[in-house]
Amino acid sequence: MRKTGVVWLLAIALLSGCDDQKILEKIGFVRSIVLEQVEGQDKALKVTISIPKTNQTEAIVYSDTAKSFKQAKIHFDMQNDRKIMLGQLRQVIFGESLARQGVWLPMESVFRDPAIGIRTHVIVAEGDIGHFVRRSYLQGGTMGEYLDNLVRSDPATRGHFDTNLHTFLRDYYDDGVEPIATIVGETESGLKINGIALFVRDRYVAKIRADDAMYFSLLRGGAKNMALYMDEVDTSRGTGSIAMANVTGKRKIKMLSPPDPNNNKPARIVVELKLKGSLMEYDDLLQMNNLASQPALEQAMEKYVADRCRRLIREMQKPGADAIGLGSFVRDKMRYADWKALNWNETFAEADIKVVADVKIRDYGRLIDANA
């Protein structure tokens, strides 16, 4: 009897395994969800999903117009011979026009699904998103896999701007910082990181260009092993371009005085940046490739970094998008009642914000002329 019981247990286990295998063969794992505005229909969404085929090089693409993602998913289930699952979702992509109207309502129906992971990328797309999903790429694989790797590896987005559902929602609910998202556009050979989308609450209001992403990273919270490029740096011996590698940076915020709306006085804030890295290239500035010129070169770089970061802050202040979280520091220095009485978006737009940079050259690579 004991042996018979063991045989039955083994048979049940084997049958369970076969049953699981059959279920897996009938599952369609969605990699990408695309949400777009429908022209002429305020309450309608164009929803597109991409499901990789078994060979992982092609994808099944479905599109539908619906009032919400949940309704569209029901329609997709009616067309698909596999059970649609969202546990492997890699990105939620918003069309630019929809993002400018507000992403909260369309996104809410997505992130409330318990199967969706909090590390799913939040992306704003420029151009024809439908073409993104259906085209083939030289890099191989489906758009979902390609875009997932691109966002994680691009130096403009790695670490700080790999914005996912967790970070987007965290900043959305925090009244001292605004959310951001990666912007993606199309090229002839594939896709490209086009910049960083700045939000006020859930509305896309401004764009940080990809060339400025490194400096935005410094303002948002520092940097580690970053590459930094400076064009048109003015020095005592001319103007030239400078490239630094292995840059580490730290940010420190000082509030000189809190906002005083009653006396019409803005908040006064200083952002201190400390950078250290290896000097890899300095075109048209070869006269400064010696240790004696290092202090003058560092001062020129400090002015360049501070000026460029001030310009970025002014761009953020125009729509009142505090994407670098200065409000969190101001909030900690004020009484809670005074903070709640503020409209921080307007206060941030009027704040007096200064940037001070401290740049140190760790080494010159192979460019140093020790005898000069």
Report pLDDT digits (tens) over 28-87: 788 899 999 988 777 789 999 988 887 667 788 899 999 888 888 888 888 877 788 888
| 191 within some domain | yes
Q: In sequence order, which residues have a C-beta less than 8 Å from that of residue 309 and are 6 or more positions away? A: 215, 218, 219, 271, 273, 355, 357
Assign residue 352 the CATH number of its domain: 3.30.300.210
| 21 within some domain | no
Tokens of 291: 């240790």
Residues 233 and 310 in one domain: yes
Average pLDDT for 218-240: 82
Residue where a domain terminates, one of 209, 238, 259: 209
DSSP type of residue 68: S
Q: Could you give the number of structural domains in the chain?
A: 2
Residues 197 and 339 in one domain: no
Q: CA-based angle 367:369:372, to the nearest 5?
A: 150
Residue where a domain terminates, one of 209, 237, 253: 209
pLDDT of the residue at 3: 55
pLDDT of the residue at 20: 47
Residues 149 and 237 in one domain: no
For residue 299, the Cα-to-chain-centroid distance in whole angstroms is: 31
Considering the chain, what percentage of its residues have pLDDT values greater than 70? Answer: 85
Average pLDDT for 148-176: 76
pLDDT of the residue at 359: 93
| 12 within some domain | no
| 20 within some domain | no
Helix, strand, coil content of the chain in percent (nearest 5): 35, 35, 25
Considering the chain, what percentage of its residues have pLDDT values greater than 90? Answer: 37
Which residues partner with 347 through β-bridges? none
131: containing domain: 26-209
pLDDT of the residue at 22: 45
DSSP type of residue 259: -
